Structure 1
C-alpha cells in the first residue's frame, strides 16, 4: 500500500530569517546529503556561517541563495543559483526539471558520472574517518542497467495533479513541480530473477529499484563471506530472501540458514522463495534476544537507512561469526555501526561501494567485518 509523502517537520524560528539572501562564495568539499559546504561571512561583524549548498561542485565560485536559515541556526541551507567559475566536471543537466527551485529528486545531474562517483566515494571515506576513525580507500563501482545514469528506477511514484497531470516534489518541501516524465524512470518494471532464481515479491514490497542491484549485491556478499559447505548463516533484515537463497546453495544440505525480517508478509514469501529456510518475523533486535542464540559462522546485515544500531550489533557479535557482510544504504549509519563492532573486536577488512542510485547522492556499500586477533585489539 502506498503511503503519502512525509511532510517536512515544522522548524522553529530562531531569530531573523535570512531566506532569500544571496552571497558570492567559493565552494568547499562535498558533504553527506547531496550538497557541498560553503562558508559565507554575514552581518557587520563578518560572522562566518556554514551553508550546505545544492547544485554546486567543490572549487567552484557561485552565488548562493539561502533557502533555509535564521540567525540562531547552527547552519543554513542554500542553492547555487549562479555559477561564476565552473568546475570542469560540470555539465548541463539532462533533465529540464533538475536545478534550483525545481524537482528535488536528483542531487548531481549537473555533474559528470565519473565525478559523481568520486564525490560519493569521498563522502563514504569522510564518514568512516569521522565516525569510525578509519582511513579506507573507496571506489564507487558502476553497475549495468542504467543508460548514462538514467532510466534505472524500476519503481517510480509521481504526484497526481487535480488535472490528471504528474508532478514531482521539490527538495525538502511538500510543494510540487509539474513534469512530463522523470528521466530516471526505467522503461519497464523490476525483474525478480537473479542468477536464474525467481523471487516472489508482494505488490509494493521492497526490492532494489536499480536493475543491476540484486546481482551486484549478491555477488559482493558471497565474495566477502566465502561461505563453505556445512556452515551456518544468519540473514538479518532478510526481506524476501535475496541473500538467503544463495547462502542456502552455498552451505549445502549439511548447512543451515536462518532469517529474521520485520515484515511478516516478506517472511512468508522468503519461505517460499528459499526452500529449507528457517525464518522469523519481528523486530530483529527483539527476535535475537530469545531466538537463534547459538553460534553462527556467517551473518548478513542489511538494515534500513538508520543502521543496525548497538542492540543488534552486540547480539550479532554474541553469535561469534567468522565473517559479517554489512549491506548499507547510508554511509553514516554504516560508520557508526562499524565503530560499535570495533568495540567488540570486529574490524573492517573489506569494503565495496556501488552506484545504485545515479544522479542522486545515495550510494550502497557492502562491508566485510571479521574478528581481529586479540593482540591487535589491545594495541589498536
Structure 2
C-alpha cells in the first residue's frame, strides 16, 4: 500500500471533521485520498485555526508529498463551543504565525495543552511513567497570573526587505506587517512598528515596568526576590510571572542540603542558582554553568553578595564531566531540544540524588524523562504552566530522584 499521493494537494479545498489536538498548534484529521482508495484511514491533514470536533473547510497550504499535508481552516461549518473571535485581526489564516489558539477560550487552550502534554509523555516516556510516583491524569497545565493578553514583555520583530518591522507568517520567512500585538502590553509596540530598520534584519524589543517599549534594551527585571540589570540580548523569561513561578518550584523541589553542592546547568543569569544558594547556605557551593558571557556578567553583578555561588562559562553538556565538586542536587533548564542521550548519561554518572528539570517542549521532555528512567531516576513530581497564552507553547518542570 503506497503512502505517497499521486497528486499535489497544495491549494486544494477540503471539507472534513477535525480530530484531536496535536503537538505544534494544530489538530489532526484524516481525509480520503482518491489516489489510494484502498487506504480507508485517509490521508493525515494537520490543520490550524480549528478545534477538535468541528466541521470545517480548509485549504491545503503545504504538501510535502508524503503521507500528510498541512492546511488552514478558512470556514467553520460546525463550531466548537470553545471557539471565540480572535483578539487580533492578523491571527487568522495567511496572517501572523505567532499565535496558534486565539480562536479558543483561555480555559480550553489550557485543556488542549494538557492533552498534548499527556499524549507526548505517554508516547515518549512510557519507561519513566512506569517508575513515576505521579499520575499523568493528575497533571494539568496551570494558569499564570496576568490573563491571556498583554503578558509578553519581550518580542523579536522581523524586518522585511523594505525595512518595515512585523512578525513572521507560520512556517515562513515572509514578514506580516502588523499594527500592534495584543500579547504585548497595550499600545507599547505601536511606536516601534512605525519605525524603519535595516532591511532583512531582526529587532529585539523589551517592554519595561513603565509600559514603554525599548529597542535592543535589556532593562531591569525581578525574580526570586532579587533584581537584575540586564544587558541587551541577555535572556529573561517573556512572561512576567514565570521567573518567580519557576523559582518557587525549584525552592519546593530541589531540597539542596545545607552545606551541600548544587549545580544550575544552562543557568542564564543565575535566577534558579540564587534559590539553590539560599538552600545550601554560606558553607555550600553552587555552580552556575552558562555559555553567554553577557548573562554571566549580568548575573555575577546581581549575585555578588552570594559568596557560595560562582559562574562557569561553557556549554553545560561539555562541562558536566569536569565540574567539581560533584553535586547533591542539579537544576537543568536546557534549550527547546532538551538534554539528549549524551548529556543525560553524563549527568547521571555524576550521581546527583535529585534533578529538577525545566522544559519548554513536551516532546523533548518526554524523551529526556525516558532517558533518565533508563539511567536510574524516577519522576517524583511534574507541573506545567501556561506561560505562553494564545500559543501552543508551555513550560513544564519535573523532579527526578535516584532510585538506588
TM-score, normalised by the number of residues in structure 1: 0.89
Q: 1:285 to 1:208 in 2, by over 3 A?
A: same
- The Cα shift of 1:37 comes to 0.6
Cα deviation 1:66-121 (Å, max 9, x = unaligned): 11114x31311111111111110000001111111111110000000001001111
- The Cα shift of 1:267 comes to 2.2
- The Cα shift of 1:310 comes to 1.4
* Distance in 2 of aligned mates of 1:343 and 1:45: 41
* Distance in 2 of aligned mates of 1:163 and 1:194: 39
* Distance in 2 of aligned mates of 1:132 and 1:160: 40
- Give the alignment partner of residue 56 of structure 2, picking from 33, 55, 62: 62
1:151 is aligned to 150
Helix, strand or coil: the match of 1:239?
coil
- Give the alignment partner of residue 343 of structure 1, picking from 371, 374, 390: 374
5+ residue gaps, structure 1: 1-12, 374-380
Q: How many residue pairs are counted as aligned between the two chains?
A: 357
Answering whether residue 230 of structure 2 is matched by residue 229 of structure 1, we say no
Deviates more, 1:175-184 or 1:25-34: 175-184
Contact 1:155-1:189 at 8 Å conserved across structures? no
Contact 1:200-1:240 at 8 Å conserved across structures? no
Cα deviation 1:314-372 (Å, max 9, x = unaligned): 12212222211101001111110110100011011111101110000000001111112
Q: 1:115 to 1:306 in 2, by over 3 A?
A: same
2:269 is aligned to 240
Helix, strand or coil: the match of 2:155?
coil
* Distance in 2 of aligned mates of 1:287 and 1:303: 14
2:208 is aligned to 189
* Distance in 2 of aligned mates of 1:212 and 1:27: 34
2:27 is aligned to 36
* Distance in 1 of aligned mates of 2:399 and 2:68: 35
Contact 2:5-2:67 at 8 Å conserved across structures? no
2:244 is aligned to 215
- Give the alignment partner of residue 357 of structure 2, picking from 326, 341, 347: 326
Q: 1:163 to 1:312 in 2, by over 3 A?
A: closer
Counterparts in 2 of 1:1-380, with a 5 A limit? 16-46=7-37, 47=39, 48-70=42-64, 72-133=65-126, 134=129, 136-137=136-137, 138-144=139-145, 146=146, 148-160=147-159, 165-186=164-185, 187=188, 188-189=207-208, 191-274=220-303, 275-276=306-307, 277-292=309-324, 294-373=325-404
5+ residue gaps, structure 2: 130-134, 189-206, 210-219
TM-score, normalised by the number of residues in structure 2: 0.84
TM-align CA RMSD: 1.9
1:8 is aligned to none
* Distance in 1 of aligned mates of 2:289 and 2:60: 45
Q: 1:291 to 1:231 in 2, by over 3 A?
A: closer
Contact 2:19-2:29 at 8 Å conserved across structures? yes
* Distance in 2 of aligned mates of 1:162 and 1:45: 43
Helix, strand or coil: the match of 1:156?
strand
Contact 1:166-1:180 at 8 Å conserved across structures? no
- The Cα shift of 1:159 comes to 3.4
* Distance in 2 of aligned mates of 1:327 and 1:301: 6
1:9 is aligned to none
Q: 1:114 to 1:139 in 2, by over 3 A?
A: same
- The Cα shift of 1:166 comes to 3.8
- The Cα shift of 1:212 comes to 0.6
- The Cα shift of 1:228 comes to 3.3
* Distance in 1 of aligned mates of 2:267 and 2:224: 18
